[in-house]
Amino acid sequence: MIALVRGEVAVRRSDHVVVLCDGVGYRAAVSAETLRNVPPVGEQVTLHAHLIVRDDALALYGFHTEQERDLFLMLLSVQAVGPKVALAVLSAGAPRELIGAIAAGDAVRFQAVPGIGKRTAERIIVELREKVGAAGEEPARIPIVARRGEAPHPRMLAREGLLELGYAPDEAEELLCDAAGDSAEELIGYALRLARAGS
């Protein structure tokens, strides 16, 4: 299995790059998100990779981060989502944002992706919501403190959720400052929409 490709960028196109490694050019399909991080032709690049073996072809896919590759693999586990659609999803935003949308149950975010209808978008949410915590590094967790016998306050849970998605403590506080909602899920959803609007 090819897990990493490092070398000189020989070709840079809208949907793929060719990386020259010891005289051999590896063609890797990439998302728009990864392409934004690929340097110009002639410069060095490192891509995390995944190889899909078919009867008629070997298809290599390249990713800027391990988190993006992990999310790609999770998307492939969803029924009706193939490599082309998975790359289209990854092109719709940074992995952290997409993972946040899954965690918040934001199916509308995925319906906007070409090739994904309402049913597939909902399936992505249902099948991946419990798995998204595995897509990326574990950020430092800040413990939730609650009085004995009391459930943690939804805003505290929402703050921890944002920290787990990779937001800094001050970012989480700012996003939740004016958030409205009765549950942690609603608060996180509001915060993520606010983050997208400001990006």
Using CB atoms within 10 A of its CB, is residue 191 exposed (0-12), middle (13-18) or buried (19+)?
buried
Radius of gyration for the chain, computed over Cα atoms and rounded to the nearest angstrom: 19
CATH number listed for the domain at residues 4-63 = 2.40.50.140
Kindly state the average pLDDT of the residues 64-82: 93
Tokens coding 112 = 């906007």
Place of tokens 């319906």: 111
Tell me, what amino acid is at 122?
E
Q: What are the structural domain ranges in the chain? A: 4-63, 66-134, 154-198
Report pLDDT for 152. Answer: 52
Which CATH fold would you assign to the domain 66-134? DNA polymerase; domain 1 (1.10.150)
Place of tokens 């290599």: 60
Tokens coding 166 = 């990779």
SS (H, E, C) 32-95: HHHHCCCCCCCCEEEEEEEEEECCCCEEEEEECCHHHHHHHHHHHCCCCCCHHHHHHHHCCCCH
Using CB atoms within 10 A of its CB, is residue 154 exposed (0-12), middle (13-18) or buried (19+)?
middle
Q: pLDDT for 135-160, tens place per residue? A: 444 333 333 333 334 445 677 787 77
Torsion of CA 80, 132, 157, 184, to 10 degrees: -10
Report pLDDT for 52. Answer: 93
Q: Does domain 154-198 correspond to CATH entry 1.10.10?
A: no
Report pLDDT for 131. Answer: 80
